[in-house]
Amino acid sequence: MRTNLLFFLFALTFSSYSQDKYTISGYVRSAQTGEELIGATIAVRSLNTGVSSNVYGFYSLTLNEGSYEVSYTYIGYQEIKKTIELNENVELNIELKETVNELEVVEITDEAANKNISSIEMSVNKIDSKTIKKIPALLGEADVVKSILLLPGVSTVGEGSTGFNVRGGGIDQNLVLLDEAPVYNSSHLFGFFSVFNPDAVKNVKLIKGGIAPEYGGRLSSILDIRMKEGNKKEFTGSGGVGAIFSRLSLEGPIIKDKASFLIAGRRSYADVLAKPFLDDNLSGSQFYFYDLTAKVNYELNSKNRFFLSGYFGRDVFGSGFLFNWGNATATLRWNHIFNEKLFMNLTGYYSDYDYAFGVEGDDEDDFEWSSSIVSYSVKPDFSYYLNNKNTIRFGGQSIYYDFKPAEAKFASDGQTNDISLPEKFAMENGLYIQNEQKIGARTSLLYGIRWSHFSYLGEGVKQTYRDTTPGIRKPLESEEFFDKNERITSYNNFEPRLSIKYELDEVSSLKASYNRMSQYLHLISNTVASTPIDVWLPSTNNIEPQIADQIAVGYFRNFKNNMYEASAEVFAKDFQNQVDYIDNADIFFNEQLEGDLLTGDGRAIGLELFLKKNKGKFTGWVSYTISRSERQVDGINNDDWYPNRFDRLHNLSVVNSYELNEKWSFSANFVYSTGTPATFPTNRYEIQGIVLPHNVDNARNNYRIPAYHRLDISATLTPKKNENRRWKGEWVFSVYNVYSRRNPFAIFFEQNSDDPVVTEAIRFSVIGNFVPAVSYNFNF
Amino acid sequence: MRRFIIYISFAFLFSSCEDVIDVDLDQGKSQLVVDALLTNDSSLQIIRLTKSADYFLNAPTPSASGANVSVLGPNGKTFAFTNTGNGVYTYDPSTNGRLDSVGFVYQLNLVYENKTYVSNSLLNPVPLVDSITYSFEENELGQEDGYYAQFWATDFFGRKDFYYIRAFKNGVSINQDNPSSLILSEDAAFGGNGADGFPFILPIRASITNGDDPFALGDISSVELLSMNRDAYEFLEQVTIQANNGGLFSTPPANIKSNIKAADGSSQDEVLGVFSLSSISKNSIQITQQ
């Protein structure tokens, strides 16, 4: 914090130089809902300069004394021009009206038309909830994470699996933020759906490269999900009845233009529908998932705003056993404007992921097991709008972690025992400073550094293992006990970040970036798709922090008056300290888990092409990625490099939407990707009549399963309604996997159960048929 | 705890499907395979030697004959195994005594094509199977109406034990249709260190009944409890994983580590298979009207 304070003073000194300059500052909001607009453009065309509003809708523009015409634009909204006599600092809050005819301008992103050219950001994709809702989805259920899979550089190990892979990184390398609180497991139903209710989502931003110093803690991406604030003008609601979920969200003012709320819930009801058809002895089985998202915000005065938001969701399964998992997050934020140039956001959050498993036993025989990761954080961020050339951001973050790898007890024939693993504690700190600097009209730079520090804390045990041949379980050599809050091990890293943009002309630019990221948390998962019971663990003396360096270069070009935007980016990434596992690793209830872990290096390289049509009746995008993602771990694959399980050479997504008229619109998307690698045997041998596979080369991921491709379509019918009626409904008809392709998730080998001497290659498809669905959405 | 994952993967909503497809596989060199699970009782002891073959051979793998097989016991005593053809080598304990010195490390000696292979196995004690109980249960999720049996035994306290449990219905293994689903227990539970000295936990006690084919009146339920060494136990654990490793939550396929090595330490992974000498305890019961 001392550094922050110093910088703050430094910044204040700096500002006192410019006597003849004044600042226009304020918020940009929607006139309809009162919600702040993220990334609205505030421009002075005569000077060819401008800024954009930050994630809280705040802007600050410093100019020489004089008279200016300032324009406020935001896609999908009508431009407002203000003439300002600037001879003192001006506070100006602007409300933009939505464009009346929605069909003419259909926004794909919240950006000003050529933002992708002029902004310093690269390797960034934004989707708003309108776009997410247009994409045909499994069972008609719009889904944030599944939409992200359609973007360049993003892939998945297979249908229905948890999470996503960005530019060759593992699923635990994405920092998934819901209103700034990290979400440790973003899936419902093992990964078929994500936990984010699209009705409550305002903006989704995926940052794959050129990651600014303000972000840290994960190697590969930041998925920044911002929830709606709640309508400040009037009470509204929306919802839907779908094949899997029912949704309802309500929002409205608490004090008009001052305070508003949003509450949104979803519940699956497969269990409710199935109940009458179940046998008596199955009627006790439980099978559902739900989530609840809520937010309130309060504007105390023009300088201070408060936001309180939270998420709570769970999946519950049970039938003779009870299994449930879920996240809970709470975020409290304070936006404070010190003066027209200095904006602060202070965030405090709590985030928890936990699961519990138990058998419905009696006292004699019982098993109860739970596990959790809980984190608490404080995070101040400052934006200092030095002048119209320099925007300085600085801040820090402290996170305290409490890991419960396993809390378990069991009883066998009346004897009980506690088999819990010890809790682990850790503290992660970060400090950053960055400056976004414009040099001339065409060039801008974003440079800065993040310093991160991690302590693995007591109460705990420092285990030391003896080195063995890589790939063999490491034997425990010694143990040392540490008291509460005593430091067991600590690490720190300097993470330089740099982005450069050069505008070739009005419609094209070149951008390049470098970032180093470090990550102190590791998701311990040894399965193809991550399971809900996978455990997060801190870096320890045996598990070193993961580090990644990435460079990316891109060319950005818009066509036809920004109707089309195109980009081509190449990236190269180098990973250190990637966690892997010995064969036969025991990752649950293992006090000596660290002896079963291996570490290795990773590398990824790729080219991403993206073409998007933003306006007109026909909108959508084509995304193509060619990439390779590999790792090298001593003890696996004869110590040679091998492709990651989620590596896919080609990855194509075509996403289209066509608005035929006010009644009908249609969407379709097609995806194609190279099959994932798999390990196939060469030989068989028999032990006790069991035929076993064997690979004489001891190879990992030596084959490819067939390519994945799929077409989904949907049609939306909006019946004509009386204009004065508030209730507006729409029907969405969708078909997922139209041509019923049996896309292999995996190919595995086993004995035929009727004729054990025969062995077979089995293609396992998660969804082997087309899946039609109808849903009804409404708002009022 | 891996078995737990099997529990959760059956909670699927969707039309996931499996079908048999054709795959072209590379061919690899053939290796000697040793299948030597021996016990301390008086039954005929069998070691089977075969050769690995192409994965899609779809016939029994070829047998390896011409080997010299023996087990070295206490006081230099050698138990010689006789080649009875088809790669089957046997030893009859009634001729020269049982392999029953608990606490002694027995050594397999195997000479094949002029090369010697060895493996050690400590003979661990095994608890008695005190009893088998049974009760009639109506059908529940994934299981049929019938009599369900449980076996009762208590793990030794104060030591790490590994067990392999074999269950039979009328003398036939209950997992005929899924031979690779072996019943294994670390102390009295699936894993970890918490079940030392406990009665075997419920899921293991109850695992001696096949839910697809429970017992009927008149059937005989029998169980064999075998003590294991860690390396042989882990071999069997890998067998259950690698022989049926599919689906969303499969682990990376890997070769199963043999506990048999070339005597000269030359190449590590030359032979496949397992050598284990177990103490065995048995019990059985006929299901009758209660």
Q: Is residue B133 one of the residues assigned to a domain?
A: yes
Amino acid at A610: F
Give me the residue from A410, A531, A764 closest to B8, CB to CB: A531
State the Cα–Cα distance between residues A502 and A495, nearest whole angstrom.
Answer: 24
* pLDDT on residue B104: 96
> How far is the alpha carbon of A576 from chain B, nearest alpha carbon, in Å?
21
* pLDDT on residue A237: 94
- For chain B, how many structural domains are there in total? 2
Q: Do the chains contact at A282 and B141, CB–CB below 8 Å?
A: yes
Give me the residue from B21, B35, B245 closest to A763, CB to CB: B21
Residue B35 to residues A76, A203, B277, Cα–Cα distance (Å): 72, 61, 12
| Digit-coded pLDDT (tens) for A362-371 | 778 888 889 9
Interface check for B113 against chain A (CB to CB < 8 A): the answer is no
Return the minimum-mean-pLDDT range out of A502-516, A689-703, B136-150: B136-150
A161 interaction partners in chain B (CB closer than 8 Å):
248
Q: Is residue B2 one of the residues assigned to a domain?
A: no
> How far is the alpha carbon of A670 from chain B, nearest alpha carbon, in Å?
20
Termini Cα distance of chain A: 47
Instruction: Tell me: pLDDT of A38 over 60.
Output: yes
Give me the residue from B19, B193, B274 closest to A687, CB to CB: B274
B8-44 exposure pattern, b = at least 16 Cβ within 10 A, e = fewer: bbeeeebebebeeeebebbebebbbbbbbbbbbbeee
Residues 6 or more apart whose Cβ sits within 8 Å of residue A381: A214, A344, A345, A346, A347, A393, A394, A395
Interface check for B33 against chain A (CB to CB < 8 A): the answer is yes
Nearest chain A alpha carbon to B60: A757
B11 interaction partners in chain A (CB closer than 8 Å):
190, 287, 317
Interface check for B114 against chain A (CB to CB < 8 A): the answer is no
What mean pLDDT is predicted for residues A398-415? Answer: 91
CB atoms within 10 A of CB A422: 12
Interface check for B274 against chain A (CB to CB < 8 A): the answer is yes
- Cα A105–chain centre separation: 27
Give me the residue from A588, A645, A748 closest to B1, CB to CB: A588
Nearest chain B alpha carbon to A158: B248
What is the SS3 assignment for B27? coil
Instruction: Tell me: pLDDT of B146 over 50.
Output: yes
Residues B211 and B261 in one domain: no
Residue B191 belongs to domain spanning = 125-230+280-286
Q: Residue A284: which pLDDT band, with cuts at 50, 70 and 90?
A: low
Question: Starting from the edge strand earliest in sequence, which strands make up the sheet with A181-182, in order?
Answer: A124-128, A201-207, A221-227, A174-178, A181-182
What mean pLDDT is predicted for residues A691-715? Answer: 93
Q: Residue A6: which pLDDT band, with cuts at 50, 70 and 90?
A: very low
Q: Do the chains contact at A756 and B179, CB–CB below 8 Å?
A: yes
Report strand pairing: B131-137 vs B115-122. unpaired
Share above pLDDT 90 across residues of chain A, in percent, rounded to a whole number: 62
Q: Is residue B11 one of the residues assigned to a domain?
A: no
Interface probe, candidates B46, B51, B137, B255, chain A, greatest A C-beta count within 10 A: B255
What is the SS3 assignment for B281? strand
What mean pLDDT is predicted for residues A103-112? Answer: 42
Q: Is residue B21 one of the residues assigned to a domain?
A: no
Residues B66 and B204 in one domain: no
| Digit-coded pLDDT (tens) for A603-615 | 999 999 999 998 8
Nearest chain B alpha carbon to A588: B1
Give me the residue from A192, A684, A696 closest to B29, CB to CB: A696
Among candidates B226, B253, B228, B258, which has minimal Cα distance to B241? B253
A433 and A392 Cβ atoms separated by less than 8 Å: yes
Q: Residue A283: which pLDDT band, with cuts at 50, 70 and 90?
A: low
Give me the residue from B7, B52, B252 closest to A679, CB to CB: B252
3-state secondary structure A544-609: CCEEEEEEEEEEEEEECCCCEEEEEEEEEEEEEEEEEECCCCCCCCCCCHHHHEEEEEEEEEEEEE
| Digit-coded pLDDT (tens) for A120-129 | 999 999 888 8
Q: Do the chains contact at A748 and B237, CB–CB below 8 Å?
A: no
Nearest chain A alpha carbon to B5: A531
> How far is the alpha carbon of B36 from chain A, nearest alpha carbon, in Å?
9
What mean pLDDT is predicted for residues B242-271? Answer: 84
Question: What pTM was computed for the model?
Answer: 0.90
Residue with tokens 């194509």: A652
Residues B62 and B200 in one domain: no
What mean pLDDT is predicted for residues B140-160? Answer: 87
* pLDDT on residue B15: 58
Interface check for B198 against chain A (CB to CB < 8 A): the answer is yes
A749 and A682 Cβ atoms separated by less than 8 Å: no
Residues B102 and B147 in one domain: no
Interface check for B47 against chain A (CB to CB < 8 A): the answer is no
Nearest chain B alpha carbon to A366: B202
Sign of CA dihedral A166, A172, A173, A174: positive
| Digit-coded pLDDT (tens) for A480-517 | 999 999 999 999 999 999 999 999 998 999 999 999 99
Residues B174 and B258 in one domain: no
Give me the residue from B18, B57, B177 closest to A684, CB to CB: B57
Q: Is residue B10 one of the residues assigned to a domain?
A: no
- Cα A766–chain centre separation: 23
Instruction: Tell me: pLDDT of A155 over 90.
Output: yes
* pLDDT on residue B243: 84
Among candidates A393, A399, A353, A394, which has minimal Cα distance to A378? A399
Return the minimum-mean-pLDDT range out of A102-111, A151-160, A298-307, B46-55: A102-111
Count CA atoms closer than 13 A to A499's CA, side-chain side.
Answer: 25
Residues B92 and B40 in one domain: yes
Residues B216 and B273 in one domain: no
| Digit-coded pLDDT (tens) for B67-83 | 999 999 999 999 999 99
Q: What is the interface size between A and B, counted as CB pairs within 8 Å?
A: 263
Residues B224 and B129 in one domain: yes
**Which residue ranges form the domains of chain A, and what is each CATH number?**
2-99 (2.60.40.1120), 677-710+725-732+741-780 (no CATH)
| Digit-coded pLDDT (tens) for A570-595 | 999 999 999 999 887 888 888 899 99
| Digit-coded pLDDT (tens) for B43-70 | 999 999 999 999 999 899 999 999 999 9
What mean pLDDT is predicted for residues A661-680? Answer: 94
A700 interaction partners in chain B (CB closer than 8 Å):
252, 254
Q: Do the chains contact at B7 and A323, CB–CB below 8 Å?
A: yes
Q: Residue A279: which pLDDT band, with cuts at 50, 70 and 90?
A: low
What is the SS3 assignment for A709? strand
Instruction: Tell me: pLDDT of A398 over 60.
Output: yes
* pLDDT on residue A223: 96
B15 interaction partners in chain A (CB closer than 8 Å):
767-769, 771
Tokens of residue A17, six digits: 């130089």
Q: Do the chains contact at A750 and B243, CB–CB below 8 Å?
A: yes
Mean pLDDT, all residues of chain A: 89
Tokens of residue A584, six digits: 């036969």
Backbone phi, psi, residue B55, to 5°: -60, -40
Mean pLDDT, all residues of chain B: 88
A417 interaction partners in chain B (CB closer than 8 Å):
194-195, 198
> How far is the alpha carbon of A609 from chain B, nearest alpha carbon, in Å?
30
* pLDDT on residue A488: 96
* pLDDT on residue B271: 93
Residues B85 and B157 in one domain: no
State the Cα–Cα distance between residues A212 and A592, nearest whole angstrom.
Answer: 37
Q: Do the chains contact at A583 and B35, CB–CB below 8 Å?
A: no
> How far is the alpha carbon of B252 from chain A, nearest alpha carbon, in Å?
7
| Digit-coded pLDDT (tens) for A292-310 | 999 999 999 989 999 999 9
Residues B94 and B111 in one domain: yes
State the Cα–Cα distance between residues A687 and A690, nearest whole angstrom.
Answer: 5
Apex B254 CA angle, A631 and B22, nearest 5? 100
* pLDDT on residue A282: 54
Q: Do the chains contact at A590 and B248, CB–CB below 8 Å?
A: no
Interface probe, candidates A359, A690, A703, A743, chain B, greatest B C-beta count within 10 A: A690
Nearest chain A alpha carbon to B205: A412
Residues B195 and B269 in one domain: no
Give me the residue from A583, A686, A761 closest to B21, CB to CB: A761
Which is higher by pLDDT, B244 or A309?
A309
Q: Residue A643: which pLDDT band, with cuts at 50, 70 and 90?
A: very high
Q: Do the chains contact at A689 and B179, CB–CB below 8 Å?
A: yes
Instruction: Tell me: pLDDT of A105 over 70.
Output: no
Give me the residue from A410, A683, A765 closest to B53, CB to CB: A683
Return the minimum-mean-pLDDT range out of A17-26, A314-323, A520-529, A706-715: A17-26
B249 interaction partners in chain A (CB closer than 8 Å):
527-529, 531
Amino acid at B210: N
> How far is the alpha carbon of A564 from chain B, nearest alpha carbon, in Å?
38
Nearest chain B alpha carbon to A758: B58
* pLDDT on residue B266: 72
Among candidates A11, A716, A577, which has minimal Cα distance to A344? A11
Q: Is residue B215 one of the residues assigned to a domain?
A: yes
Q: Is residue B120 one of the residues assigned to a domain?
A: yes
Instruction: Tell me: pLDDT of A28 over 80.
Output: yes
> How far is the alpha carbon of B170 from chain A, nearest alpha carbon, in Å?
19
Q: For this complex, say whether ipTM is above 0.85.
A: yes
Q: Do the chains contact at B179 and A688, CB–CB below 8 Å?
A: yes
Q: Which CATH number belongs to the domain containing residue B177 in this structure?
A: 2.60.40
Q: Is residue B61 one of the residues assigned to a domain?
A: yes
Instruction: Tell me: pLDDT of A106 over 60.
Output: no
Q: Do the chains contact at B248 and A529, CB–CB below 8 Å?
A: yes
Instruction: Tell me: pLDDT of A194 over 50.
Output: yes
Give me the residue from A365, A417, A690 closest to B239, CB to CB: A690
> How far is the alpha carbon of A429 from chain B, nearest alpha carbon, in Å?
34
Interface probe, candidates B182, B202, B230, B259, chain A, greatest A C-beta count within 10 A: B202
Q: Do the chains contact at B52 and A685, CB–CB below 8 Å?
A: yes
Give me the residue from A282, A415, A703 closest to B198, CB to CB: A415
Residues B219 and B187 in one domain: yes
Nearest chain A alpha carbon to B46: A688
Q: Which residues pair with A267 in a beta bridge?
A: A246, A290
Interface check for B246 against chain A (CB to CB < 8 A): the answer is yes
